[in-house]
Structure 1
Amino acid sequence: MIDRDTQKRIVDMAAGREPADLLITNAKILDVFSHEIVESSLAVGAGRIVGMGDYEARETLDAKGAYIVPGLIDSHVHIESSLVSPKEFARAVVPHGVTTIIADPHEIANVRGLDGIRYMLDATRDLPMSVYIQLPSCVPATGFENSGAVLRAEDLAQLIDEEYVGGIGEMMNYPGVVAADKDVLDKVYLGISRGKVVDGHSPAISGRELNAYAASGIKTDHECSTVEEMHERLRQGMYVLIREGSAAQDLEALVKGVTDRNFRRCIFCTDDRQPEDLLTKGSIDNNIRKAVRLGLDPVLAVVMASLNAANCYGLKGKGAIAPGWVADFLLVDDLADFNVRQVYVDGVKVAENGVTSIKLADADDSTVTDTVHIQPVTAKDLEIKLPCPRANVISMLPHSLVTKAEVRDVRPDDMGLFQSRNNPGLLKLAVVERHHAIGNVGVGLIENYGLENGAVATTVAHDSHNIVVCGDNDADMLAAIKDIEAMGGGITLVREGKVVCHLPLPIGGLMSDRSAEEVAAQLKSMVEIAYRDFAVNPENEAFMALSFMTLPVIPEIKLTDQGLFDVRKFDYISVCAE
């Protein structure tokens, strides 16, 4: 909100009585209201757009024919999934034109509760971008797992009126919403009672269930994977967030459903994106480029990435190039390749030619470190007894968070225990509770991950972020768990009891304290090793795909620290299928 004196100065600049701070000449300005390209100069002052046309200014920049478009808005992202701190996340995405994000910190909240959310608020307050925090609605995601905290509506109420709290994060407990569960609806009501947005997460539901979900006041959904799902939600008055992340990539399917009639309710998000993708392919600019390649009109793509998102989240003054609007804008070479030359936030240049041009300060992370606390895990904890010849198996699907529940024939050893060597294609999966050292270890079987002669473990395990470990032998799985504990969280690859490589993630067991470039380089090396030396299936992202095998709100079957979980039944099932 500007003060009265600033308002007068902006009006004086717009009227030509006072020079603007900056005049950008020889530009092509995208009007997101009329969808016109206006060849003109753009005047900027006091952090706002002053006007278009001939103005005097203290500084002049020749755009040399570049397009000026509104700053891009990522409508749903988990900073933690970038594996870097908020500062490093900003340094990675701002040069790609992202000037505003809607961040849901439910990863760090599942580890550290309100302290985790406060850390994110503090760490994002002085970044060269606007960060609006959606208070996590599902900590834990369900009652079928143990997380580091439990947040109820009364807990979230402590933060709901903070300036940069935009509303309530994705409501993954859709069965609770549909059943009108009091605790669930209390969180939804907390958001709508303050006039703030409540985000959705409703994969595969339709009909009356979807009616009930939308009727609760939930406004968005980023879990559509088909045009049919997308159109049904649009008919319910919801906004559809078209996701293009590192693991979940829905844009190619959904962009076919965007039309001149419905595009106003369609916006872009990344959800979960790893550091190398952010640094090389970009963020929402990548969504725009891909959508245009697939046939979407470039102007509509930019509108979806700016004005539509601002309208959805009530970001007044953002998302357009117009007098009085916030001066968040980009200079790009063209609207198809969308190469970002310069990025301005509040009228100040913050990035140029792919590099952030202002210094970013470190944030205090002392409240979100030292987060791995486990009971000693033994081979006995990893045993899977098979008193039957058939087992329930988590079947991974290529490039998808969704899994299939399959029943496979299995051959136990002489002791009646599962061994991978006797069952080609099947691996052991375990989830170890790591927040309060209560000793829970859930075990199950998984196929299509493809690991051979070793183990992979990580504390990035959505959404409760316990330790998830996959392997074809218990010794390496145990060694991987020990390395995770020693690092205080991270990702590790182990073979013959030795750590082949690892990536420490000391901030909540989710984020590194190193630069985005360092993390990207180490992760890239580890992914290559996983595919080349450990025979991980290249149709799945080596580590991120594994981290979603613990998320009991994505169909059809997952594993938590409490056991194998059938998402369709929303209840535990035995590994034994008979």
Structure 2
Amino acid sequence: MKRIIDKSQKREKADFIIQHAQIADVFNLRWRQGDVVVADGKIIAISEPGEFEADEIIDASGKYIVPGFIDAHIHIESSMLAPKQFNRIILPHGVTAVVTDPHEIANVAGKAGLEFMLREIEDVEMDIYYMLPSSVPGTSFENAGAVLTAKDLAEFVHHESVLGLAEVMDFPAVLNGEEGMLSKLKLAQDAGMIIDGHGAGLTSAQIRGYRAAGIATDHECVTAEEALDRVEQGMYVLIREGSAAKNLKAILPAVTVANARRFAFCTDDKHLDELIEQGSINYAVALAIEQGMDPLLAIQLASLNAAECYHLNNKGAVATGFDADFLLVDNLQTMKALAVWKGGKKVAEHGKMITAAPEKSIIETSILHSMHLPKLLKEDLRLPFKGNRANVMQIVPNQLITKRIEANVDVVNGEFIPSVKKDLLKLAVVERHHHLGTKAVAIVQGIGIQSGAVATTIAHDSHNAIVVGTNDDDMLVALNALQEMQGGLVIVNEGEIIASLILPIGGLMTDCSAEEAKLELQKLHEALHIIHPTLNYHLFLTLSFLALPVIPDIKLTDTGLFDVKAFKHIPVEITDGGESH
């Protein structure tokens, strides 16, 4: 502290100075001309030119200095990379911190999964903060790989990288005051931590119950009206722009200069290839500016607002006393980082990391062998019908929500037969954690594949095996491939595996480099166009959310077709008595 004070008072040289830049002042929403003076990882002054001396002088004439961006809510596992590799693809875009919920790996591996994620950040350059998973399992209507109680979470509360309780998804447990959920909420409150929400489809009255429980954020808004309701009730709205859920354009009209401090940006879930090509929060900032938002306001949402929401008191601004986390850009419309500094150290330049690659991760055997599918036969995928009327899950491209529709389906010999012409395909979820043997089959519309099958072990949030197909044979080949691979993504056509990506870390993440994984993912996307020539949405990410029973309208878990609004199982077949057989 004394050394930094001495340098701030010019008794000692600073480490480096960036001169002649336009500096984003996110407190006053103005551009400020000056020099950014850095020492010991901190900004010690914004000065007039020539006022300070330093060991290094950087000329930034004609350029802009912007605070490091913060992703207010992300699941790193959805990048399919372990945190060490995730760090190396996201920092070059100017995202210097993320607040992540590791409930994906926790739903597979429990406390061992959390411990792995915490070990992974010990030598990364960016700040990776964790929220403790509140919903493992997500609901009682599915079988996950683990259960985390408040007692389990208490072991992690005082870890320096833990900020609070992650998205509370089981809203009935909150609103009904269930003891297990209240214990987790109280654990976070007693520790003075923030609690994230998950208000997908909730009414204003239900949000009122969330606020009574101390829940502070929501990233599930899909309309401006929902966003304004949350803000009026004192919440932060995290505007989501990910791979499958793209809500920024719809929510942006709710943001004004008067209420903007209650908004921040997040991605929630974004795939590896898009993260490498687009980045995350930098992309949201550029999109907001394209939609008419003032650049300074967009930058404020992406930095200061997120920092204040999560009590990161030294983050989010290029100002005296703040951590020296910032990026240099020359075009505010594209928000492409020319260089990125983290803690006063230049870590990336022209879209590439300039620091040494990390050592390979050490991973427990149990996490690497998480697949326990039963021996499956065609009979296991049979969907019997007496009539031909069905409850069908209809996807909404580029959204996480689905719609429940009723449709006449093709039935032969008392069994549902998929129809490519009607785009009515078979969807199945199979428990893969504990040899329980539970499985469910339903009908989905909107996937659009013309042949074959697609399967993955990324199936939020319990991450059982999920497969969609035009025929049972290809679906079985895909499921058996997942078992052999110990998890991943696979595409099958006419009995042959035409592309796959092995994800050995809990069936969620690769253990190879980001560059290697990107090449394999590119092959997957090429293969998808073989079975779906007109594909125009993110099929794998959409498929991965069809098993999440907390986002409306209906989803499929390993225990059956689930009506999220009614919060109960419903039959696939619609009969006169309203019951299945």
From 217, 238, 243, give the equivalent of 1:241.
238
The alpha carbon displacement at 1:384 in A equals 0.5
8 Å CA contact 2:20–2:62 kept in 1: the answer is: yes
Aligned to 2:75: 78
1:55-134 mapped onto 2 (5 Å cutoff) = 55-134=52-131
Are 1:391 and 1:575, in contact at CA under 8 Å, matched by a contact in 2? yes
Query: Aligned pair count?
Result: 570
Helix, strand or coil at the partner of 2:276: helix
Per the alignment, residue 540 of structure 1 pairs with: 537
- Superposed CA RMSD in Å reads 1.3
AA paired with 1:9? R
Q: Is the Cα–Cα contact under 8 Å of residues 49 and 325 in structure 1 kept in the other structure?
A: yes
Instruction: State the shift of 1:169 in Å.
Output: 0.6
- 1:514 matched residue in structure 2: 512
Q: Which secondary structure does the structure 1 equivalent of 2:99 belong to? A: strand
- Report Cα offsets for 1:499-558 as digits up to 9, x if no partner: 11111111110111122222223223322321x321276243121111100000010000
Query: TM-score w.r.t. structure 1 length?
Result: 0.97
- Match for residue 392 of structure 2? 393
Change (3 A) 1:143 1:423: farther
Distance apart, 1:358 and its partner CA: 0.8
Match of 2:32 in 1: 38
- Larger mean CA deviation between 227-236 and 380-389 belongs to 380-389
Identity of aligned residues (%): 46
Structure 1 counterpart of 2:521: 523
Does residue 215 of structure 1 match 2:212? yes
Pairs within 5 Å for 1:167-246: 167-246=164-243
Aligned residue runs from structure 1 range 294-305, under 5 A: 294-305=291-302
Greater shift, 27-36 or 139-148, is seen at 27-36
**Are residues 1:436 and 2:430 paired?**
no
Paired with 1:553 and 1:504, the residues of 2 have a C-alpha distance of 28
In terms of mean alpha carbon deviation, does 353-362 or 225-234 score higher?
Answer: 353-362
**2:578 matched residue in structure 1:** none
Q: Which residue of 1 aligns with 2:7?
A: 13
Q: What amino acid is the match of 1:244? A: E
Residue of structure 2 in register with 1:3 after alignment? none
Task: Name structure 1 gaps, 5 residues minimum.
Answer: 1-6
Q: Which residue in the other structure is 2:265 paired with? A: 268
Partner-residue secondary structure (3-state), 2:38: strand
Query: Could you tell me which amino acid in structure 1 is paired with residue 203 of structure 2?
Result: S
Mapping 1:178-577, distance limit 5 Å = 178-361=175-358, 362-367=360-365, 368-414=367-413, 416-421=414-419, 424-530=422-528, 532-535=529-532, 538-577=535-574
Distance 2:410 2:203 in 1: 40
* Equivalent position of 1:24 in the other structure: 18
Q: 1:18 to 1:574 in 2, by over 3 A?
A: same
Distance in structure 2 (CA, Å) of the matches to 1:348 and 1:357: 10
Question: How many angstroms apart in 2 are the aligned matches of 1:207 and 1:85?
Answer: 37
Higher deviation after alignment, 421-430 or 279-288: 421-430
Say whether the 8 Å CA contact 2:267–2:281 is kept in structure 1: yes
**Secondary structure class of the residue paired with 2:31:** strand
**AA in 2 matched with 1:38:** R
Q: Under a length normalisation based on structure 2, what TM-score does the superposition of the two structures give?
A: 0.96
Cα pair 2:430 2:440 within 8 Å, conserved? yes
**Do 1:527 and 1:543's aligned partners in 2 also have CA atoms closer than 8 Å?**
no
Deviation per residue, 1:216-242 (Å, 9 max, x gap): 101100000000000000001000000
> More displaced, 352-361 or 131-140?
352-361
Query: Which moved further from structure 2: 224-233 or 445-454?
Result: 445-454
Letter in 1 for 2:380: D
The aligned amino acid for 1:412 is V
Per-residue displacement from partner, 1:336-364 (whole Å, max 9, x unpaired)? Answer: 22121111111011111111111132321
The whole-number CA distance in structure 2 between the counterparts of 1:99 and 1:129 is 5
What secondary structure, in the 3-state scheme, does the structure 2 residue paired with 1:558 have? strand
Whole-Å Cα distance in 1 between the matches of residues 389 and 511 of structure 2?
45
SS in 2 for 1:100: strand
Rounded to whole Å, the distance in 2 between the matches of 1:114 and 1:131 is 18
8 Å Cα contact 1:448/1:537 also seen in 2: no
Q: What secondary structure, in the 3-state scheme, does the structure 2 residue paired with 1:279 have?
A: helix
After TM superposition, give the deviation of residue 162 of structure 1 in Å.
0.8
Partner of 1:159: 156
> Quick check: 1:343–1:350 contact (8 Å CA) kept in 2?
yes
- Is the Cα contact below 8 Å between 2:396 and 2:402 reproduced in 1? yes
1:4 corresponds to? none
Partner secondary structure for residue 59 of structure 1: strand
SS of 1:30's partner is: strand
CA distance in 2 between counterparts of 1:425 and 1:363 reads 42
- Distance (Å, rounded) in 1 between the aligned partners of 2:384 and 2:469: 17
The corresponding residue for 2:134 is 137
| Distance in 2 of aligned mates of 1:422 and 1:78 | 33
Q: Which stretch shifts more, 537-546 or 47-56?
A: 537-546
1:262-294 CA deviation, whole Å, 9 max, x = no partner? 100000001111111111111110000000000
CA distance in 2, matches of 1:251, 1:421: 35
CA distance in 2, matches of 1:264, 1:399: 27
User: What are the superposed Cα offsets for residues 377-407 of structure 1, whole Å, 9 maximum, x if unpaired?
Assistant: 1111111111222111111112111101111
* C-alpha deviation, 1:423, in angstroms: 7.7
Query: Of 33, 45, 49, which aligns to 1:51?
Result: 45
SS in 2 for 1:80: helix
Structure 2 residue matching 1:395: 3-state secondary structure: strand
Aligned counterparts of 1:435 and 1:24: Cα–Cα separation in 2: 53
Q: Note the C-alpha offset of 1:576.
A: 1.0
Spell out structure 1 runs of 4+ moving beyond 4 A: none
Q: CA deviation at 1:36?
A: 2.1
Q: Could you tell me which amino acid in structure 1 is paired with residue 401 of structure 2? A: V
Shift of 1:125: 2.4
Q: Secondary structure at the match of 2:109?
A: helix
Q: 1:214 Cα shift? A: 1.3
SS in 2 for 1:58: strand
Larger mean Cα displacement after TM superposition, 291-300 or 567-576: 567-576
Deviation at 1:141, TM superposition (A): 0.6
Judging changes above 3 Å, is the alpha-carbon distance between structure 1 residues 384 and 234 closer, same or farther for their aligned structure 2 residues?
A: same
